[in-house]
Each structure stands twice: as C-alpha cells, then as structure tokens.
Chains A and B, each alone.
Chain A
C-alpha cells in the first residue's frame, strides 16, 4: 500500500501504471487468488513429479528385467501399452477424462490433477529412465552377473548408480515441461497460477497486468529450475573425473 502511494506522489509515467496495479490486484484482495494459484501450481507439479518418477522407475525396471525373465513379458507388454496410450492422448483430454469420468464424484480437482499429471508424466519418465539405464555400458551388468549378482542386484548396485548421472538432468527437463503443462489444470476447476490470472482478468477488466504476471511467474520458475539443473549437471560431470 505504501509503495504505490509513494509513486503516486512522485508522479511521472509510472504512477499511472501503479494505480492500475493497485486497482487490479489490491482492490477486493484479488492478489490472494494469485497466491492460492501459485501454491496449487507448486503442489500439483511436485505431486505429479513424485508419482511420475515412481511410475517411471517401476516401468523402467520391469521392462529391463523382462529382457531376461520371460515371466515378466506380459507385464512389460502392459507397460508398453500404457506408455503408448498416454503419449497419444493430449494432456487436457486426459485431465478431463480423469475428472469427469474416472473420478466423477471428486469435489476437489487438485488430487485428481495430481494423479492425472503424474500418470501422464510417468509415461515420459519411464522412457527417459530407460534410456539412462541403457546408456550404461553393458559390460557393467555382465561384470555384476559374473560375480553372482542377480539381475536386480546388479541393477541396484552397479548399473543404476551410474545411470543416475544421465537420468537426473532428464528428469529436470521433464519437471520444467510438467510445470508449464499444469497450466491447463483450470479445465477441472482448479485455481492454479493460470486460472488465477484469468479470474483476476475477468474481475478487474484488466487483461494486460494479470496475464503478464502469470507469464512472469512461469518464466521465473523455469529460469530458476534451469539454473539449478545447470548446477546439478556440473556437479554430476565433475563427479566423473574421480
């Protein structure tokens, strides 16, 4: 409140804009919607990330073990089907199916959104975890097996710790994509950042500032994640020179 008042008193070209910001966000406490939206966007993104990584790991391991264990072939086939189906359906459509068909009695869209985004993300995670595992030299698995390790033991002790270096950066990229993808959560009545901006636009008759703020929030979050990811990748590659 003090800051805009200061600028109003100072006059100049900015003062008009600050008056507008005040009217758009402060009047009727509309900024609170944006805070709620921000919270929900973060919750949905992180929740979906956890589900996605879990599903992805399970699928990757099942498909890896199935190469050697004939009994797992049917399960691996189901995994393949899941990945194909999910990748072929637009996220919004998936979200609507989850909200209006599968969980049609849900009152709160947030858990539904978390599950839907998580299941969607799992299909992509599975592929990138698999390619991380495949990037490790096949001789490593053979060396583990030749010592008497089972396929699962060699995976856990020998192969996976080496695959992490390829997998973590890829998961980071998937997280960035996921964050932006959650902007369709408003389709199932969830107030995320995008929906909050749109609601404020609708209530305040100011289109420019709410939407610019929404864009800025995503941009800053993505830049932040990109920066963290860069640091992580540098750490992982210096680990290489041991």
Chain B
C-alpha cells in the first residue's frame, strides 16, 4: 500500500549551494487497511513525510511506492489519478476561502466528475455528521478553528479514499471531538482504508494503541 525504501528528501534551497536535507534513509511499509501513528517533535519532518505520501513532492533519494504505484518512476499524468484516491487533512486545513463549507467538501467529488445529485446528498450528510448541518453556506472565514478542521476532515473522507493522511487533525478540536475523530479514523481503517495520522500529541497516541512511526531529525527511530 505504502512502501518507503531508503527515501531521502531535500527541499531546494535557493541561494545556497547544498539543498537542506529534511528526511534521511527512511524505510517502512504500511499494509492495506493498516493504521499508523506518525510521531515526532515539531520540525522532525512529519509533514514532509506526509507530503511525500500524498504526492505533493517527489523523493530526492530512494524509492517510494503508494497505492501499488512506484512514484519514483511514475509519469506525471498518472499521479492525478492516484491523488483522487488519497484523502488528506492538512495541518493548516487549506480550505478555499471563496467557497462555502458545502462547496469545499464537494470539491474533490466535482474534480472527480461525480454527478451533482449524488454530490448534494453525500455532502449534506457528511456535513451533518461533523456537526455543521447549519453551516452549509458559510465561508471558512466565518467558522471557528474547530469548525474549519471538521470541514477539512469531511473533505478528506467524502471520496472514501483508499489512503487517508491526517496532519495534526485534532489540533483545534476539543477532547470529545478529538475522541470522536479517532474512532472514525480507526473505523475507516477497520473497513480497509489505510490511515496515517501525524501528531506531536503522544498522549493521544497512547490512548489509541496502534503501531507508531517515530521521526527524529528526519530519521525513523525504533
């Protein structure tokens, strides 16, 4: 499902000769339907590792395979198709500010060319489930941080992705909402979705026992 083999990542550093290396020799596998915590302090490289998995960047070293596709050698045109089967909850939500909550959640379905009738029913139900039934038409700027995060979560799962990646998804949620989200993620994993959740919140991870990938200064540690 996801396979890292000696993956290294450097961001191009304009003005400097040597690029800044962020990940070093990262190797691990996540099986279909697996659930993994991705732990590490701020700056350890969690977001960078997730960005590799949702194909926002390509590795600069090693081999990476996602959804049975070798990303290192895949043609650019194939990646868009893969991305549609990956759901992402971004650390900074990345909602489109000029679209309503409804249209933000509907966006991945429209990109995938689904029919509007289907979209209307699914999106409304999804937003009701995250407790935003009364805010379908609200633009993100009128929503609280927690509400925005719930819109971001709804957008990530609305397509029933095969791979779900969440970057600090509970950062703006209260305890009850966070627990509820964790149960959703584990339920999805049980039903076959592969899930990776990055967090610096060790307490949250220890409450929901699951294998963990631990990053320190860009390296996986046991």
Q: Do A and B bind each other?
A: no
